[in-house]
Structure 1
Amino acid sequence: MRISLNWLRELVDINVSPEALADMLTMAGFEVEEIEDRRTWADGVVVGRVLERQPHPNADKLSVCTVDIGADAPSTIVCGAANVRADIYVPVATLGTHLPIIDLTIRPRKLRDVPSEGMICSLAEVGLAKESEGIHIFPQDSLQVGMDARPLLGLDDVILDLTSTANRADALSMVGIAREVAALTGATLKLSEVPELPVKSGGKDLALRISEPGACPIYMGTVIKGVAIAPSPEWLQRRLQAAGTRPINNVVDVTNYVLLEWGQPLHAFDGDRLRAIAGSSDLTLGVRFARNGETLTTLDSQARKLTDQTLLITANDQPVALAGVMGGENSEVYADTTNLVLEAAVFDSVAIRRSARSQGLRTEASARYERGVNSAELELACRRALALLGELAGGTVDIQTVADARPGGAMATRTIELRLERLNQVLGPIELDKEARPGEGEIGDLPPTEVERILTALGCELTPISAAGDVWRVSVPPYRHRDLEREIDLIEEVARVYGYNNFCDTLPAKTELGFLSPDYALTRQIHHAFKAVGLTEVIHYSLVKPDGDNQIALSNPLFVEYSALRTEMLTALIDAFQYNLEQGNGALNAYEIGRVFWREEDGLYEGDRLAGIMGGDASVGRWVRSGREQPMTWFEAKGVLESAFRQLGIAVEFQPDRRNPLLHPGRTASLWVQGERLGTFGQIHPQERQRRGLPDEVYAFELDLDLLLEDMSDEARITPIFKPYSAYPASDRDLAFFAPIQFSVAEIERAIRKTAGKLLDSVELFDEYRGESVPEGKRSLAFRLVYRASDRTLTDEDIEPVHQKVREALQEKFQVSLRS
């Protein structure tokens, strides 16, 4: 929120510099993002009186003006504005003045051979308008020439651009900031009295029907007759402009002014237009949620399709405004408006948040309702607006109808017990002597008198309830009702206002070096391993489109496209692969570590996954193949995955698998670690590739990260046992046979290792053949078995019995036909 210091000084008696005030507010939890010193925009601009205006002798569109700026002699100024004339008061930038808005320093110069000694300014040149058709003419009849023009332009002000936390709804108003500054500085708060106005209650001209009292606990509608729409007075326009609000007319400006002053959004309807929409002279304003399919054109001329989460204001059940967000174009105040209906209401913060989000719209009003508007001061803000409308628009208050569903008709007072002992326990010791240098003042606990002073300054009422006076019953003011709920909230307020920098710094008695958790350290190893094999890390949203029975849907999503939690990670990786191809970036070789979520009959579950995708030509320099690409094969993709496992020290077994619908049923394998399923690896399903226009050779994998980390953290792996190399030579044997194709190489290799026992040093498949001379339903496999002992050189007598045992085991278990 933009805070005008001139306006603030009318509400609280302070005399501190803008920089000191900004520092004070920042230390109190209000971040001042910018100090906009408007005094620099027109430093050196004075009031001048045009004594004479003559046409320029050498230019048709220029004028030569004689201007009295209070100097010993009038100044000659060449001006190009069409509205310049004699006997007017104007702002004049004198010689040496720098105008930062247009980055111009005024120096004496000649314009078409005529000397000019200054510049008559427009509002755009002093930063008060984006564009100006001519120079600014002061409306006053008599001014002192040579006086500083900044007070007349409203440029004797400093603006603080302040951001408050979400729990401080009261800080989105000038009165709220004034209360805060009064508490921080001890200054006197000067809130003006709002007079009571005679108002007739109810009447057939205006009735209320609140269908959603939970979303609108109180609604006040006031009929005002005989208003005259006109521009607002200059002081009001300047004040709104300083706050970043564009002046429109006196009625709309009053509602915006009260919004800025008290933080209470108001809305003015054209009463005659409301009755035209209602189709009757008997008007009933209502509050209800929209029905699907209804539409409303809002004040920004946007036709909005409404949903059942959109809260509406209706006239005889016809939509006329988005409640708490924006009014409708069909009932807005315009130049010929004479009768008004002023809305003053409190809406539920959750209802307004959902309503505004459903329309993708956020306004000054909705921002305040979303944080929570103080309903206790609703009547006061309404009276303030009615008084200003009578003063500035000549309106006469007719009737007022109120629908109040608040418990007891108003917000109940909250009382909290506060213990001094607990306060000092939480906050710790303070420097009692603030004037002493750091470390030299007296250290002690916060005295009870200081606690009482701070909380009283914040508007609380304290009643001692202990003999020692160190326990109080604190009554919270209505404007802090949503913020101060517990004892710890009061303790926080004391610390904030007293100053966090006044509490003693204490360091832990002992410190220890930081370290990575075991799982995080192992996860970093996984990142290094998969990057080392050429995969790039990517990150996708965990939110996806709803599509699946076992998905977990969000109850309050930001967008329909992201309204469910993902159950797998391959779809997003395939999307990324497709996007890179369409953008001409080539095949994407990537991996991702993330979390998936799913629903089962007995509850909701989540787990971490490691997924990846590969494809394309991995080689560089295709000139040896005449520029032709060589797509990655299934075994090359499998080798990339195995290389990463080898770096991680994981022994993974591959088994045929057909369960993943995204993967090719004949080219998919399940991965197993020590008898537990680790994940799936395979080629993208042909139908999926065809649907997305992907090349044939695209491969993907998805692994259970928790199981992978569990295996990597095994004690036997973390502390490897040294095994010496054998000093004796090895002896190898080749074993070739025809094997039925239903048996995998992994199964055969596992049987060989188990049968051969300790003498077998390694086994490797070096040939596979299918085709001519191979029996139907079989394939030719050739393995090389390496035998070695650690204590002797093996002889044929040692090896042959073991090798023969392997042959017999393969014949018995897999029905192989031996060729060697």
Structure 2
Amino acid sequence: MKISYKWLKELIEITESPEEIGKILTATGLEVEGIEEIESIKGGLQGVVIGEVLTREKHPEADRLSLTTVDVGGGNPLSIVCGAANVAAGQKVVVATVGATLYPTGSEQPLVLKKSKIRGALSEGMICAEDELGVGTSHDGILVLDTDLPNGTPASEYFGISSDYLIEIGLTPNRADAASHYGVARDLKAYFNREIKLASVDAFAVNNENLPFEVEVRNSEAAPRYTGLTISGLKVAESPDWLKQRLATIGIRSINNIVDITNYVCHELGQPMHAFDADKVIGNKVIVTMVPAGTTFVTLDGVERKLSDSDLMICNSGTNGNPEPMCIAGVFGGQTSGVTNETTSIFLESAYFSPIWVRKTAQRYALKTDSSFRFERGTDPNMPLYALKRAALLIQQIAGGTVSSNITDIYPEPVADFQVKMTYRNIDRLIGKSLDKTLIGNILNGLDIQIQNQTESGFTAIVPPYRVDVQREADVIEEILRIYGFGQVELSEALSSDYLSDFPVNDPEKLKLRVAELLVANGFNEMINNSLTKPDYHVAIAESIQGNPVKILNYLSEDLSVMRQTLIFSGLEVIAYNSNRRQKDLKLFEFGKTYNEIGEKYIEKERLAVFLTGNIGQESWFEKSREVIFHDLAGFVMQVLSALKIKDVERTEADAAIFKFGTTLTLNRKPVVTFGQLQASIAKKLDIKAPVFYADFDWDYMLKQYDAFVQYKEVAKFPEVRRDLSVVVNKKITFEELRQIAYKTERQLLRAVNVFDVYEGANLEGKKSYSVSFILQDDQQTLTDKVIDKTMQRLISAYEREFEAVIRK
């Protein structure tokens, strides 16, 4: 949001510099992102003076050039080569002297004047045209002045150049009250304890009733307050310089005096307004209502839009009795009802529209205007009447005309103030410092927050409705603190914090993004596949899938006639497509839904599929490429589980109908992920010959198990101990079975079990040897050899009993 320093000074006494004001505003919660000096003419015409042409002669070497001498005050006249046809002796002109920097109209590059020779003739400056000075757009010839100012007078005096400072504020969405110069002045009022000087509207008067207008509000929920009046006999013209400069400072282009005044009042008071050409309002009646869906409406930007029946529109009575839209309420005006140079009478609108209605409409059409910016955040419902009178007086002052109707003010249910119960105990607790009760009262009064029902323990804060962000006790306390000053609260020796909000709920989309970024960082590419698929894909694995496929009633082709029950085949289609184009080394993943019909219910589940095929890495001079193996996929699976803080999973064998070999990891006896090498018969359905490794995550279940809170456990004070065993068992026994028996046998001291070698050979026919390490630790004391030996003996006995294991010495 852009604020003019000079404009601000008209509303409140300011002796501080723009930089000091910027620091104060930032400290009170209106973060100033930048301060820039703005001049009505860029560069301020430094080095540009008033001169008088003494002589003019034709250039001997160029027909279109003239040799002139120009008196610029003091010293010798300047010799200047001029290309303008209208230059003549005796003229008062504007001269840019050597060293001056000009900013020509329409040019992004500045022009620096240097002494030069043009066709052999010395030129010590330039006699300027309008566009060369940046004061206009004309380049028909040099600018000839009618002035008695002495030669050498700075051109800035002639043009009345003014300067201002633009203060740019990064306005947060909750501070709708500060979306104007008046709003910013209110914060300074509370900080400095100075009075605000709003322009008086006591001079407002209804001159006659020659142009009465009827107003009907059919939706008071969307338009709780609507005011308006008519002004006739005005003249639409260019705005005066002061108004154009004021708007230009904050980046608003001047259009005409009427539109400029509505923009001026909007940025002064935060109250958007709109002026309609009264002659184009059919029936002299304004109707605030909705129109049928699909109604076409051309907005001011010339775009034809189809309206929704949820859009609040400002309409006239229409030619056939049906309301005809003229303006999207609170968002954008229409092309046919706006003010033009031919306008002589207007209907001036000032209203309070519901933030929710305006926000939905603005988002529906992707329209972001100064008006919608304010209305959708919440304006002051008590401001429309004052703003209407303020704008009417400015229009009469600048464009003439008379107020030709009584003011219409439809406000059936006035918006009430917010009432917030406050306790001094909570104020002191959240601020971290005990403030004097009188100081608290002065700060709140400065913020237009009144105090009622005051007792020793607290009071009721009466908050004006324009402070839509101050509705709770903590909000009022924040108001006190930001004006008092965060920097004035001393840090105590023992720091603590407090809060009034609940802990946030886990965001599924953020978790999905975290896992996606993890996989992408490991070289994976994401797939997005169609949920429709071929019915014969699932026939081979029908016994492994619960339920029946969901059939499409009006399918377009047999190949897209059912919803997918698994992500396997859509992934294999991508692999086949890429393999046929010589892209065989693939790492792919997909977040997608599966669909099943079980009994009379339709089950939809979110899953994560991961595919690996081809070589695991590119071939290079220092490392040979190799084919993907099961443990490559296992490593990625464990990274995903770790990202979602899922641990203590148990292992079982994967479904042999789908996997040639693989593993299912379960948590609380429910499968979390199944992964392994797909059966060749499944891959062959899509003519894929290379081994394909696949992991299927139950994403919905994983999200339910995710816990965002970090649980801290004190670092053990006593050392851990490692012992190794070489265990010979039947070759069908898996390490997972050994691990589970170990944890069942020793629940207190066993911290980790790991396999670091596996041996199978001719001398171990039908058996294999696992080299297993055990980490033991006691949190209460240092382990003794006696305790360690006793623990290991229990583990050995369990292996011998459960698996007929032989412990190799």
TM over 0.5: yes
Give 3-state SS (helix, strand or coil) of 2:248's partner.
helix
* AA of the residue aligned to 1:315: N
User: Partner of 1:656 in structure 2?
Assistant: 655
* 1:302-341 to 2 correspondences below 5 Å: 302-316=303-317, 317-341=323-347
Residues paired across the two proteins, number = 675
User: Partner of 1:492 in structure 2?
Assistant: 478
Give 3-state SS (helix, strand or coil) of 1:361's partner.
coil
8 Å CA contact retained: 2:47, 2:99 = no
User: Partner of 1:671 in structure 2?
Assistant: 664
8 Å CA contact retained: 1:657, 1:670 = no
Closer, same or farther: CA 252–732 of 1 in aligned 2, 3 Å: closer
Q: CA deviation at 1:213?
A: 1.0
Kindly provide the CA deviation profile for residues 251-282 of structure 1, in whole angstroms up to 9, marking residues without a partner as x.
Answer: 1111111111111111112222232xxxxxx2
Closer, same or farther: CA 530–416 of 1 in aligned 2, 3 Å: closer
The whole-number CA distance in structure 1 between the counterparts of 2:133 and 2:582 is 51
Match of 1:642 among 604, 609, 634: 634
* AA of the residue aligned to 1:494: I
* 1:579-594 to 2 correspondences below 5 Å: 589-590=587-588
User: Partner of 1:780 in structure 2?
Assistant: none
* 1:19-30 to 2 correspondences below 5 Å: 19-30=19-30
* AA of the residue aligned to 2:277: D
User: Partner of 1:293 in structure 2?
Assistant: 294
2:274 corresponds to 1:267: yes
The whole-number CA distance in structure 1 between the counterparts of 2:350 and 2:91 is 44
User: Partner of 1:555 in structure 2?
Assistant: none
User: Partner of 2:34 in structure 1?
Assistant: 34
Kindly provide the CA deviation profile for residues 456-491 of structure 1, in whole angstroms up to 9, marking residues without a partner as x.
Answer: 43344557945x8x966655456x442433443333
User: Partner of 1:240 in structure 2?
Assistant: 247
8 Å CA contact retained: 2:630, 2:693 = no
2:198 corresponds to 1:191: yes
Match of 2:487 among 494, 497, 501: 501
Closer, same or farther: CA 619–14 of 1 in aligned 2, 3 Å: closer
Closer, same or farther: CA 60–26 of 1 in aligned 2, 3 Å: farther
Gaps of 5+ in 1: 276-281, 430-444, 512-518, 546-566, 624-628, 659-664, 734-744, 767-782, 792-797, 804-820
Closer, same or farther: CA 143–350 of 1 in aligned 2, 3 Å: farther
User: Partner of 2:262 in structure 1?
Assistant: 255
8 Å CA contact retained: 1:530, 1:591 = no
The whole-number CA distance in structure 1 between the counterparts of 2:178 and 2:379 is 11
Closer, same or farther: CA 234–24 of 1 in aligned 2, 3 Å: same
Kindly provide the CA deviation profile for residues 701-726 of structure 1, in whole angstroms up to 9, marking residues without a partner as x.
Answer: 3245469989xx9x9xx999956333
8 Å CA contact retained: 1:313, 1:319 = yes
Give 3-state SS (helix, strand or coil) of 1:14's partner.
coil
Q: CA deviation at 1:47?
A: 4.6
The whole-number CA distance in structure 2 between the counterparts of 1:45 and 1:571 is 76
The whole-number CA distance in structure 2 between the counterparts of 1:297 and 1:645 is 55
8 Å CA contact retained: 1:613, 1:701 = no
User: Partner of 2:554 in structure 1?
Assistant: none
Give 3-state SS (helix, strand or coil) of 2:325's partner.
strand
Q: CA deviation at 1:299?
A: 0.7
The whole-number CA distance in structure 1 between the counterparts of 2:37 and 2:262 is 27
The whole-number CA distance in structure 2 between the counterparts of 1:76 and 1:621 is 75
* AA of the residue aligned to 1:484: V
The whole-number CA distance in structure 2 between the counterparts of 1:417 and 1:65 is 80
* 1:761-780 to 2 correspondences below 5 Å: none
Q: CA deviation at 1:64?
A: 5.2
Q: CA deviation at 1:424?
A: 3.6
Closer, same or farther: CA 200–144 of 1 in aligned 2, 3 Å: same
Closer, same or farther: CA 154–171 of 1 in aligned 2, 3 Å: farther
* 1:25-174 to 2 correspondences below 5 Å: 25-38=25-38, 41-42=43-44, 44-51=46-53, 54=56, 57=59, 58-59=61-62, 62=65, 67=70, 69-72=72-75, 74-79=77-82, 92-98=95-101, 102-119=109-126, 133=139, 141=147, 143=149, 146-150=152-156, 152=159, 154-174=161-181
* AA of the residue aligned to 1:642: A
Kindly provide the CA deviation profile for residues 489-516 of structure 1, in whole angstroms up to 9, marking residues without a partner as x.
Answer: 33322322232222213354599xxxxx
| Greater displacement, 581-590 / 103-112 | 581-590
Match of 1:361 among 350, 364, 367: 367
User: Partner of 1:7 in structure 2?
Assistant: 7
2:697 corresponds to 1:702: yes
The whole-number CA distance in structure 2 between the counterparts of 1:690 and 1:336 is 75
The whole-number CA distance in structure 1 between the counterparts of 2:729 and 2:96 is 101
* 1:197-216 to 2 correspondences below 5 Å: 197-199=204-206, 206-216=213-223
Q: CA deviation at 1:244?
A: 0.5
8 Å CA contact retained: 2:293, 2:309 = yes
* AA of the residue aligned to 2:431: L
| Greater displacement, 208-217 / 195-204 | 195-204
* AA of the residue aligned to 1:15: T
User: Partner of 2:788 in structure 1?
Assistant: none
* 1:323-472 to 2 correspondences below 5 Å: 323-400=329-406, 402=408, 404-407=410-413, 410-414=414-418, 416=420, 422-429=426-433, 445-461=434-450, 465-466=454-455
Give 3-state SS (helix, strand or coil) of 1:291's partner.
coil
What is the TM-score with the length of structure 1 in the denominator? 0.66
Q: CA deviation at 1:122?
A: 6.3
CA RMSD of aligned residues (A): 5.8
Closer, same or farther: CA 639–381 of 1 in aligned 2, 3 Å: same
8 Å CA contact retained: 1:207, 1:401 = no
The whole-number CA distance in structure 2 between the counterparts of 1:506 and 1:457 is 29
* AA of the residue aligned to 2:5: L
8 Å CA contact retained: 1:50, 1:85 = no
* AA of the residue aligned to 2:696: F
Closer, same or farther: CA 488–272 of 1 in aligned 2, 3 Å: same
Give 3-state SS (helix, strand or coil) of 1:224's partner.
strand
The whole-number CA distance in structure 2 between the counterparts of 1:248 and 1:685 is 73
* AA of the residue aligned to 1:221: G
Q: CA deviation at 1:362?
A: 0.5
Q: CA deviation at 1:126?
A: 6.6
User: Partner of 1:740 in structure 2?
Assistant: none
User: Partner of 2:778 in structure 1?
Assistant: none
Kindly provide the CA deviation profile for residues 638-689 of structure 1, in whole angstroms up to 9, marking residues without a partner as x.
Answer: 553235468989664343389xxxxxx7999883437431235587999999
* AA of the residue aligned to 1:499: G
Give 3-state SS (helix, strand or coil) of 2:386's partner.
helix
Closer, same or farther: CA 350–69 of 1 in aligned 2, 3 Å: farther
Closer, same or farther: CA 415–333 of 1 in aligned 2, 3 Å: same
The whole-number CA distance in structure 2 between the counterparts of 1:569 and 1:173 is 55
The whole-number CA distance in structure 2 between the counterparts of 1:47 and 1:128 is 14
The whole-number CA distance in structure 2 between the counterparts of 1:694 and 1:350 is 58
* AA of the residue aligned to 1:653: T
What is the TM-score with the length of structure 2 in the denominator? 0.67
8 Å CA contact retained: 1:208, 1:403 = no
Give 3-state SS (helix, strand or coil) of 1:656's partner.
coil
User: Partner of 2:556 in structure 1?
Assistant: none
Closer, same or farther: CA 671–157 of 1 in aligned 2, 3 Å: same
Kindly provide the CA deviation profile for residues 751-803 of structure 1, in whole angstroms up to 9, marking residues without a partner as x.
Answer: xx99xxx9xx999999xxxxxxxxxxxxxxxx953379999xxxxxx9xx999
8 Å CA contact retained: 2:591, 2:607 = yes
* AA of the residue aligned to 1:458: L
